[in-house]
Amino acid sequence: MELSGRVKNIIFKNTENGFTVFVLKNDDGNIVCNGTFENLKKNEYVILEGEYIIHKKYGRQFKTISMGTPDDILIYDLETYLGKGQFKGIGVVAAKKIVERFGTNAVTIIENEPDRLTEINGITEKKAYELSKQFQKNRLERDAIVFLQKYNVPVKKCMEIYKKYGEKVYEVIGKDPYRLTYDIEGIDFETAEKIENKVGIKAVESRLKAGIMYYLKNDLNNGNTYSIYEKLISDTTAWLDVDEKYIYMACDALIIEKKIMVINVADEKRVMLPELFFYEKEVAKTLLKLDSEKHIENDEYLFNIQAIERNTMISYSDTQKQAVYLAQKHGLLIIVGGAGSGKTVTIDLITKYFDELGKKIVLCAPTGRAAQRLVDLTGKEAKTIHRLLGISGMNDQKEYGFQFFKKENELLDADVIIIDEMSMVDIFIFYELCRVIKPRTRLILVGDIRQLPSVLAGNILRDLVESNCFTVLNLQSIFRQKTDNDIFSAIKMIEDKKMPNLNILSNEFSFLKAVETDDIKYLLIRECEKKAKFLNCKTTDIQVLVLERKGNWGAENMNIFLQSYFNPPNIEHKQISYNHLNTSYIFREGDKVMHIMNDYERKVYTGKLDDLIYNETGLFNGEVGVIVKIDPDKEELIVKYDDNRYVIYQKKDLDLLELAYVQTVHKSQGGEYPGCILFMLEDSRILSIELLYTAITRAKKSLTIIGQEQIIVNAMERNVKRYTSLVDQLNEEKLSLENR
């Protein structure tokens, strides 16, 4: 087992063989320990491996087999720790140089010989002694990090844990490590269980309660807002290997603690996190209230549309004109349609119509690329929903909440709010939006219910349509592709839940049968080159789509392969490497990359590469660009995005980028590409007809599927099934309103 604490005093030491008896002080009190040590010091923080014994004369003691100290910080973790920005004047570059120069002696040098740090270019004597002073001042935190690393906790999480518990971290770990699963985002049940086993304790009740919460959150991560009670009991009983009566008891305890709630709907017993129940209920109340508000109808709306048609030289369909009529009549309108059905053109018409009436219109979408498409089409400003709400990210105080730039009770100043790509909107962000919509606002939701639902929990668009509580307009005409286009034919077959014709071998649509061999990679290369020639574009403009990130045929591995082919090491192309989560990555000049986080404070520049001018702030998740310059000395690179926008990344920022030759289907959602190649080589738990439909509808002009026919058959036979209670909440609230 393991003990940790400070050496309070040394009782005895044999100078010949190093055998030492000393008192260790920790949260459990004073513990007499013994062992053989070369240089044990008073007040030193130590981590001991060993066991308790009963000495005939001196009683109970801890017999030490091995000892660790703060000097055991892994080299990579020390670099991370130093480069986090908490030590004044020491950044990522300086941290790396310190570790490279002094290696395993870095801690000793910093603490005891700071003058030697001046051997490193850029570190002055003043800076060296200031670092030493700060480093020793932070010793308690550093000791805690070393202690937690014994349980394989990443250094960044170690720092979060210490910030939360301070010196009580040892007590938490020693008595109930499952507390981490409640208090620290990213520490899951499995991590806590490993800590429990290594510490050698048995926190039985805490383990069962944490296991149930882990099960619920895992269901939540799979898109569900509730779990089936009987299934939860059965699954956790088997998984945690206990009698089911203890699971029932743990559930009862969690209900009393108000961490879960159990509700009955018809013949189904559901387990929910209280916040999810609240979110769905509040969304239902808000939407029904908006829809119940009366709006003045404009009988002359057709004359307004005719004027718009004259100005734009566009002839709108009857259904698109009907969308305007319904939008001005109802507080809530839902517009659904398949790929190429004219959804964004309809949005443009509605926007122009309300603009002519002097209404304040807000356009938004769940992703950056979808928002940018609205900008390109309408010429109006469009934002991500996050940016519209002033959300900077997850709130540290609330696992499923957000941190706002502006006041949370500030209502949106809008007469009309239009949300595109509504199928991608989850319950968390939609709740936040609903709570800041002012009364009498018209809300228009646009999307495709055949596409994949949101990555996070909820199935908002489908639930709203299937509730039959609101006006729904279905766009069915096809505008993006010609109706005799082979891609359209495949899309239409999938919409009708029929197997697409895989015997077609045209430039527009084709299926190439393949098995899992390395030859497939070179088949992919040939197909990229063939498509690029047909579409008269660069090979890197062809978007390769895969099902998952991991695995032989996942995005990570396939990106590395395509990088090696399309942009191999070249003396003319500088490169930069970095480590993230113990994995090494390389970026080169010329690489196609994606920014993977909404980053509203990121500076964006315009102008010439050698003379960049600051223009604005803000970069969206999903934006794709090309690395145009790497400066190895400064350890930074520059990415060029659409519209000649440039962004500078320091090495510490590189985890915001990933190679984008290949994307998962989920990641591609909301985007359109001239040509796509879809890999369907192996079955996957996420395979579904919605995933297949979403993948095929990303291609505007040309699509090839490389894979096995049986995998496509499997996809056609599976639907995304999500357990959500929004429909029930809507029906219950509607009944309540009718009975008032």
pLDDT tens sequence across 167-222: 888 888 888 889 898 888 878 888 888 888 887 778 788 999 999 999 999 999 89
Q: Are 332 and 443 in contact (CB under 8 A)?
A: yes
- Answer whether residue 204 is part of any domain: no
Asked if residue 98 is part of any domain, the answer here is yes
Residue 266, domain CATH: 1.10.10
Statement to judge: residues 105 and 221 lie in one domain: no
pLDDT band at 416 (very low <50, low <70, confident <90, very high): very high
**pTM of the entire predicted model:** 0.78
Radius of gyration from C-alpha coordinates of the chain: 30
Which residues lie closer than 8 Å to 740 by C-beta, 6 or more apart? none
The closest alpha carbon to 547, from 690, 719, 423, belongs to 690
Estimate to the nearest angstrom the gap between the alpha carbon of 334 and the chain centroid: 27
Between 148 and 502, the more confident residue is 502
Question: Which residues are CB-contacts of 342 (< 8 A; sequence separation ≥ 6)?
Answer: 317, 320, 475, 477, 479, 480
Q: Is the pLDDT of residue 57 over 90?
A: no
Are 53 and 79 members of one domain? no
Percent of the chain, pLDDT > 70? 93
Task: Name 25's bridge partners.
Answer: 6, 30
**Where are the strands (E) in 572-660, listed by range?**
575-580, 583-588, 592-595, 599-608, 611-619, 624-631, 636-641, 645-650, 657-659
Which of 446, 475, 504 is the endpoint of a domain? Answer: 475
99: pLDDT strictly greater than 70: yes
Are 255 and 163 contained in the same domain? Answer: no
556 and 668 housed in the same domain: yes
CA distance 451 to 445: 15
Going by C-alpha positions, the residue among 77, 98, 67 that lies closest to residue 142 is: 77
End residue of a domain, out of 272, 292, 308: 272
In a domain? residue 362: yes
- Tabulate helix, strand, coil % of the chain (nearest 5): 45, 25, 30
Torsional sign, CA 263, 265, 271, 273: negative
Q: How far apart are CA 685 and CA 665, in angstroms?
A: 14
Regarding whether 290 and 434 lie in a shared domain, the answer is: yes
CB–CB of 681/520 below 8 Å? yes
Residue 440 β-bridge partners: none
What is the torsion angle, in degrees rounded to the nearest 10, for the CA atoms of residue 650, residue 653, residue 655 and residue 656? -110
Per-residue model confidence (pLDDT) at position 547 = 94
Compute φ and ψ for 483, nearest 5 degrees: -70, -15
For 307, phi and psi rounded to 5 degrees? -65, -40
Domain of 215? 211-272
64 and 78 belong to one structural domain: no
Encoding tokens for residue 539? 């090979």
On average, the pLDDT of the chain sits at 87
**Residue-level pLDDT at 483:** 55
Counted domains in the chain:
5
Could you tell me if 297 and 441 lie in one domain? Answer: yes
Pairing mode, if any, of strands 361-365 and 416-419? parallel
Q: Is residue 715 part of a domain?
A: no
List the Cα angle 727/732/734 in 5-degree steps. Answer: 95
Model confidence band, residue 69 (pLDDT cutoffs 50, 70, 90):
low
CA-CA distances (angstroms) from residue 651 to 93, 550, 635, 656? Answer: 8, 24, 6, 10
For residue 405, pLDDT over 50 is answered with no
Question: Do both 554 and 595 map to the same domain?
Answer: yes
- 262: pLDDT strictly greater than 60: yes
**Do residues 491 and 635 both lie within one domain?**
yes
What pLDDT, on a 0 to 100 scale, did the predictor assign at position 620? 76
Are 538 and 452 found together in one domain? no
At 554-576, the pLDDT tens digits run 999 999 999 999 999 988 899 99
492-516: average pLDDT: 88
Reported as a single tens digit per residue, the pLDDT across 528-559 is 999 999 999 999 899 999 999 988 889 999 99
d(CA 193, CA 178): 7
Q: Which of 386, 461, 473 is nearest to 724 (CA)?
A: 461
Q: Is residue 288 part of a domain?
A: yes
Tokens 């000049």 correspond to 589
Q: Residue 290 above 90 pLDDT?
A: yes
Q: How confident is the model at residue 715 (pLDDT cuts 50, 70, 90)?
A: very high
Give the pLDDT confidence score for residue 482 in this predicted structure.
Answer: 52
Q: For residue 733, is it within any domain?
A: no
Cα(583)–Cα(142) distance, integer angstroms: 24
Same domain, 647 and 591: yes
Whether 732 maps to a domain, the answer reads: no
Pair (546, 640) in one structural domain? yes
Instruction: State pLDDT tens for residues 319-340.
Output: 999 999 999 999 999 999 988 7
Which CATH number goes with the domain that contains 444?
A: 3.40.50.300
- How far is Cα 182 from Cα 271, in angstroms, rounded to an integer? 18
Question: Of the residues 227, 243, 272, which one is the last residue of a structural domain?
Answer: 272
- Is 239 among the domain residues? yes
Q: Looking at 448-542, which runs of residues are DSSP E strands?
A: 471-475, 509-513
